[in-house]
Amino acid sequence: MKQTTTLGHSTLDINRIGLGCMGMSEFYGTFDEKESIATLHKALDLGVNFFDTADMYGSGANERLLGKAFQGRWDSLVLATKFAVMRGPNGEFLGLNGKPEYIRQACEDSLQSLRVEAIDLYYMHRKDPEVEIEEIVGTMAELVQQGKVKYLGLSEVDPTTLRRAHAVHPITALQTEYSLWSREPEQELFEVCRELGITFVAYSPLGRGFLTGAIKSRADFEPGDFRLNNPRFTDEAIQQNLKFVEVVDQIAQSKGVTKAQVALAWILSQNDEITVIPGTRKIHRLAENLGALQVTLSEADLATMEAHMPSVTVGNRY
């Protein structure tokens, strides 16, 4: 399996399994800064060079964590961060903002938190419905011209919006949820990304941990875990959606690999450019995820999975 790809309209080669850093600061129960920094350093040592964060993860705490962990090592990696989701002083969500002055300030704040002079890949996290995409990307393009940002990305937009954005300034990456239980991007987005030379970055490729088989009921979550409010993680949905895990487990057992490795290898087998950013705080999980690059799924394996996968996922994504 191809292990690296060139990131969209850049000259940057990235490992096709990157690292999503969100859970190191929020959302998935308890976290430990020392453990997270050790995992970040180990990721670099193991050849991971694509790291994903956002200004809203931990209300800036995640960017500051990466700024601390990667001081003196920025030349070894490609960093993506995002703007648009506003948080209040107590972490409350205040909606979306795509106004030019907000984008400029968000970029300055991220540069300061990360302690870098330029952001490799700057994403619009979600689109502000009040601002046209042309104005948003136009402002982002100014940041490129000023040398504060190298390349532009979008997250969770439809094909029409992606085309409109790309007409203003080349879009290098599109980040969208994609996994065995979230397959909507296959309908149109893959084709548009291929046509425009945009790298597709799959987030939550393990179904927020569900496809690893680690979650069998709501009792498996710590109090405060955001998945407890997610429609896919009601008791009824979990029981129905375990059918996905059964199919993955069947293939994993036949190959002597883990369910996580099969779920990631399945995504990487869709095309040679697609990239995944599974999140983890733990070194052993990081190593396990990277092992997916050594897993080859045959045409028969893929056909078996396709034939036995449930046709619908119970519960909306959010």
Catalytically annotated residue among 57, 123, 151, 178: 57
C-alpha distance from residue 94 to each of 59, 103, 122, 298 (Å): 12, 15, 21, 47
Give catalytic status of residue 203 as yes or no. no
* Region of 91 on the Ramachandran plot (φ > 0 left; ψ -120 to 50 alpha; else beta): left
Cβ within 8 Å of residue 235, ≥6 positions away: 217, 218
CB 173 within 8 A of CB 151: yes
Active-site amino acid positions: 57
